[in-house]
């Protein structure tokens, strides 16, 4: 894109992310009966954002929906690393030490919802547009982390994303579903964080075509998630399911602090820490031999075992 086209794309992406934040928070407030707390913040060095959070709600124990639009100069080492990653799907930059190539712009929306009930899954979504030097790309996706596996919920979530992908390119879904399973993988645990969804990054080329897909995917989030919430929110559960949920939330924390690109990007670019770490659950538990919920027991049975089997070996749901 030429400079004028890039400026126009920045404005369109930022406006779309703002609108999407409004739409999602309005819908979540409506189904939960909770009010989002809003913080408008500025980033030293350039840009800022709006963070909206629910704390200790009846439905959502913690829910964060964050819009950001930031710009400035990347640290040389991080600029080089980001250039190398982008170069896997674009022309690699050879100017990582050039201050002009370290200039960046990023805008988008990121959300993580931690329900109180272990029958309602945690969900994450992110839709972003980035520039570094003279390169630009789109990224994003959504993934589901249940604590009790319901096949109909998994099928619904994946089917929505497949329909979105197929509207734009039939090759997208198999590629982005596989990418999601590989990205949200905790190598030290040898399991995925959840049951996947879609994940894409460094998409560059036909800007209008990619923007249309990026926008459509963001708009599909509520369709993918809200019906699952409505289906499960009224179910009762025994205390041991709450304990299991707190244990599995530990995996969520481990992934976000060790592997997550968004967390790394935010911290490396001097972003607002409270907004970056809003993805972490309010309560979490790390036990000893906690996979069995009982020290010394080697195997699980029932719903817990069914869930772990899928996390160890991702499944094609549609």
Active site residues: 124
Residue bearing tokens 């399973």: 181
Q: What's the burial of 51, exposed, middle or buried (CB within 10 Å: 0-12/13-18/19+)? A: buried
Distance, CA of 27 to CA of 271 (rounded, Å): 27
**How many C-beta neighbours within 10 Å does residue 159 have?**
14
Distance, CA of 224 to CA of 111 (rounded, Å): 14
Distance, CA of 110 to CA of 64 (rounded, Å): 8
Q: Looking at the chain, which runs of residues are DSSP E strands?
A: 37-42, 47-55, 60-73, 103-115, 122-132, 135-145, 185-186, 191-192, 197-203
Residue bearing tokens 């979105």: 164
Q: Closest by alpha carbon to 224, among 146, 156, 295?
A: 156
**How many C-beta neighbours within 10 Å does residue 239 have?**
7
Q: What is the DSSP string of 71-136?
A: EEE--HHHHHHHHHHHTTTSPPPS-TTSGGGGEEEEEEEEEEEEESSTTSPEEEEEEEEEEETTEE
CA distance between the termini of the chain: 36
């Amino acid at each position: 894109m030429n400079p004028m086209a890039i400026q126009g794309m920045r404005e369109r992406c930022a406006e779309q992310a703002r609108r999407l934040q409004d739409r999602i928070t309005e819908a979540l407030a409506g189904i939960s009966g909770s009010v989002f707390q809003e913080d408008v913040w500025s980033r030293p060095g350039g840009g800022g954002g709006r963070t909206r959070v629910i704390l200790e709600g009846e439905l959502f124990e913690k829910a964060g929906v964050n819009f950001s639009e930031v710009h400035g100069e990347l640290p040389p080492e991080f600029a080089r690393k980001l250039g190398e990653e982008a170069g896997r799907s674009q022309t690699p930059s050879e100017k990582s030490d050039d201050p002009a190539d370290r200039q960046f712009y990023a805008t988008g929306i990121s959300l993580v919802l931690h329900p109180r009930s272990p029958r309602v899954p945690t969900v994450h979504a992110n839709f972003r547009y980035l520039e570094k030097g003279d390169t630009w790309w789109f990224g994003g996706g959504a993934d589901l982390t249940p604590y009790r596996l319901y096949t109909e919920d998994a099928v619904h979530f994946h089917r929505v994303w497949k329909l979105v992908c197929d509207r734009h390119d039939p090759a997208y879904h198999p590629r982005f579903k596989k990418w999601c399973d590989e990205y949200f993988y905790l190598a030290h645990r040898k399991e995925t964080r959840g049951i996947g969804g879609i994940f894409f990054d460094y998409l560059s080329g036909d800007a209008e075509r990619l923007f249309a897909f990026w926008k459509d995917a963001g708009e599909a989030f509520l369709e993918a998630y809200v019906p699952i919430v409505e289906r499960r929110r009224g179910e009762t559960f025994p205390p041991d399911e709450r304990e299991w949920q707190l244990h599995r939330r530990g995996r969520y924390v481990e992934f976000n602090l060790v592997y997550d690109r968004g967390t790394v990007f935010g911290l490396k670019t001097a972003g607002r820490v409270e907004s970056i770490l809003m993805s972490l659950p309010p309560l979490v538990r790390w036990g000893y031999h906690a996979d069995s919920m009982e020290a010394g027991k080697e195997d699980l049975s029932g719903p817990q075992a069914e869930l772990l089997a899928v996390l160890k070996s991702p499944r094609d749901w549609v």
